[in-house]
Amino acid sequence: MTDHPPGDVMVAMRGIVKQFPGVLASDHVDLEVKAGEIHALLGENGAGKSTLMNILTGLYRPDEGEIQLRGKRAHIGSPHDAIHLGIGMVHQHFMLVETMTVSENFMLGLEDLGFLPDKTKIDADVRSLSERYGLQVNPDAYIWQLSVGEQQRVEILRLLHRGADILILDEPTAVLTPQEAEHLGQTLSQMAGEGKAVVFITHKLNEVMTYSHEVTVLRAGKNVATVHTADVDRRELARLMVGREVFFQMEKADHPPGGVVLSLQHVQARNDKNLPALRDMTFDVHGYEIVGVAGVAGNGQRELAEVITGLRKVTSGSILVRGQEVTNRTPEQLIAIGVSHVPEDRVGVGLVPNLPVSDNLALKGYRKPPMSRGPFLVRQAIRDFAERMVSRFDIATPTVDTPVRLLSGGNLQKTILAREISAGRELMVAVHPTHGLDIGATESVHKTLVELRNEGAAILLISEDLDEILRVSDRVIVIYEGRIMGEVPCYNADINGIGLLMAGCEWSPTEVPA
């Protein structure tokens, strides 16, 4: 992002304090955002980013401190107040009514519609804003018919339609292809060029360096730094976030792929709506190899993980592990032959929240000695095993008797990884293993996956974060609407080409994307 003359201060948050029971979420935080500026907000999970933005948008009220908008003290007691003051937020999970059209969603919450809303005018407003910002959407389309990228456009345009000149975006590129993310960055730059103030929360340091003018880093509820983006690099920002040096390159042993561990042959499966989800899915994963699966959310990733781990039935085709036919086997049978699974839903599927850490770590091994003797559990053996896993994987927990629901997101993921690695070292299916984790916890998970790969395991990594896939994988397969669009080696991979495949376009690694 090229430098620009700073505008007037649009938002000034001074000495913001917000305390929840047992947690000081905001500790005398200051934040300034200027007109014409894209301001990135960085920090680990629990650093206070969302709390600060929820205060600015009226969802929370600060215990101390004040907010000034355009040089005047402002009282923001509700989201309604924030909207009237020109503040709008695009949340990571969109706030749209799927059964309504784009125009009908625009109408929601408007106060001057009258008894009979003028749909023609709303349609014209949608088209005008779409044209102005290059965010094309059809005003008559139903939200459920739109891609996630198009739904995000609707959210942004709806805020602009309501006159927002202070825009907050929470992880705005998490569900976008690389091309869509680049286009969004250009749109944000255009908005800043018109004098709007833009705040975006992201964990992608490349985007911070590319699009932002200023960066504020929060750690443990405090503002540890506000810097010009041009004056720092990724390594320095990461160090500010976690308080220590972070290594971006994963050291992977230079080892040729081993034998085929997982083989899918012409696999077909249906989703929960009984519609085709996987179409002629054919690929192999070898030992000493991490294969990444890239694709925009909703293109069959969930169903792929579930058919391999026994949670969903295959309608045709076959799945083999080490040459053994395992199609439509039960999860218990697959666990017995060394298949492990890091699920997308850590708490709902991967763990039993109210059970202690020890019991969650023992979930894959409690049926066999030494953790059981006949029908009876051997509690001391379970405890000894849990303490070894806590030590080996550096799980931060008061004791192994602590209910697992009290652990942080990163330590929940470490608990799952510890259990799955100890239970099966043949094949691991890891689904969004770092979703929602801060950069420090993400680094730890990536190291664990690479170490497992270096020991000879086959890993299928399913993630919507292309940076993550390219960082730890050996090769990547790209899926679109349940089909494999192409396969690309990760070394010097062409991100634009992968983005084309993710969007359903044909592309060969020998081509130069336009």
Whole-number pLDDT of residue 413: 87
Residue type, 35: A
Domain with CATH 3.40.50.300 in the chain: 9-242, 260-502
Q: How many CB atoms lie within 10 A of CB 275?
A: 8
Q: Which of 479, 505, 493, 499 is nearest to 180 (CA)?
A: 499
CA atoms within 13 A on the CB side of 269: 28
CA angle 63, 69, 71 (to 5 degrees): 115
Among the listed residues 92, 87, 114, 117, the one whose alpha carbon sits nearest the alpha carbon of residue 105: 117
Omega before 370 within 30 of 0, i.e. cis: yes
pLDDT of residue 249: 63
Q: What is the dihedral of CA 182, 187, 193, 199, to 10 degrees?
A: -80
* DSSP symbols for 133-147: HT----TTSBGGGS-
Backbone CA torsion sign across 71, 73, 75, 76: positive
Closest CA to 202 of 163, 165, 238, 235: 238
260-502, CATH topology level: Rossmann fold (3.40.50)
Token pair belonging to 508 = 């060969």
Distance CA 335, CA 327 (A): 14
Query: Strands 339-342 and 260-270: what pairing?
Result: unpaired
User: Exposed/middle/buried for 93, CB within 10 Å: 0-12, 13-18, 19+?
Assistant: exposed
Closest CA to 26 of 58, 55, 59, 68: 55
CA–CA gap between residue 507 and residue 505 (Å, rounded): 6
DSSP secondary structure, 58-89, as one string: TSS--SEEEEEETTEEE---SHHHHHHTTEEE
**Contact call for residues 317 and 266 (beta carbons, < 8 A):** yes
Q: Which residue has the tokens 């809303």?
A: 117
In this structure, what token pair is assigned to residue 466?
A: 């292309």
Contacts (Cβ under 8 Å, ≥6 apart) of 122 = 103, 106, 107, 139
SS3 296: coil
Phi, psi of 494, rounded to the nearest 5 degrees: -90, 105
Query: In the Cβ-directed half-sphere of 93, how many Cα atoms lie within 13 Å?
Result: 1
pLDDT computed for residue 2 by the predictor:
45
Low-confidence residues of the chain, pLDDT below 50? 2, 513-514
For residues 358-386, b (16+ Cβ closer than 10 Å) or e, as one string? bbbbbbbbeeeeebbeeeeeeeebbbebb
CA distance 315 to 303: 12
Is 469:461 a contact under the CB 8 Å cutoff?
A: yes
- pLDDT tens-digit map of 462-499: 998 888 899 899 999 999 999 999 999 988 788 888 98
- Residue 353 CB partners (closer than 8 Å, separation 6+): 347, 403, 404, 405
SS (H, E, C) 309-332: CCCCCCCEEEEEECCEECCCCCHH
Cα–Cα distance between 478 and 508 in angstroms, integer? 12
Which pLDDT value is given to residue 510? 64
CA pseudo-torsion sign 50, 55, 60, 64:
positive
- 9-242: CATH topology is Rossmann fold (3.40.50)
Task: State how far the Cα of 406 lies from the Cα of 354, in Å rounded to an integer.
Answer: 9
DSSP helix/strand/coil, 242: helix
What percentage of the chain exceeds 70 in pLDDT?
A: 95
Direct distance between the N- and C-terminal alpha carbons of the chain, in angstroms, rounded to an integer: 22
